[in-house]
Structure 1
């Protein structure tokens, strides 16, 4: 408020019990109210006069007609007016700081919400793509059931070796026939594969 050149005028009075009454609605600090209570009582109307006249800028200003005590009062009035202006300026700065902090918090919160939404969308898209590729892979790679090649010869060789652990040459005919069977199966796979 004080930074852009605007001013506010505050009127106040004191009653018999030294209570300060603000005539124009402003929020004043306790420090300022206590200083206002310390102001000397106004002089009787016969010894001084106070008139409100428009100043050159169009506002109201108080002109005191008498010197001495009135001059001290006027200086004190100007000092208090400057303090009020300073208080209002501080309040405006504090409100601005709070507003900026609230705005930052709102922006951060909105950014976090947007990131969460983007992450959720990305997860859904990645899951859908994975499931689609897995389905395609399942159709391309078929489960194959293989039967062992030359299974009967394989079992005959095994039985022969178990029956003749010291005479393995007795099983050589089975081993030759097993190798021939395997070669024939390989040839079939190469030619028909």
Structure 2
């Protein structure tokens, strides 16, 4: 260059482990020159933190999907169990309703029976004055009369009161009815024996007929 004679210098260069230029001898080369010399563009590598974040996001997305799928399966199982339980309860309720209907029919039949018994009892109560005169079958004495006290008046009053208070549940009075019939039976037998000095079959038949 100029008037002097040009001289030529030999240079050499190398790169370190991080691909950086390391001058061994001579001048320092620019980065652009080095890129042209390498024949490749200088592309910065993806940072490790960015890769970790991407992997973490992908894993979280997969976990969330698995959890959603498990929740859907559990929901389907729960709904299936609830439907089965509902069907069982409906069948049980239907069976119970049938049993109650059958029991109600039985109770109505018993109620009709005891109402009939009550009607007969009331008729007997109205005709209880027959105990105020001797029975010809027991006395064998005609045209004789005797005053007697009412038969089983306490039970009569209890029965009438019970049926009045339990019009829809006459079964509650069944024990009183049985007790009253036993009382009437005993009174008939006693009355017959008191009037008739002989313990004949007529008195026994009166007791058994009740």
In which range does the TM-score fall when normalised by the shorter chain? 0.3 to 0.5
Q: TM-score, normalised by structure 2?
A: 0.39
Q: Which has the higher strand share?
A: 1
Q: TM-score, normalised by structure 1?
A: 0.42
Q: Which has the higher helix share?
A: 2
Larger radius of gyration: 2
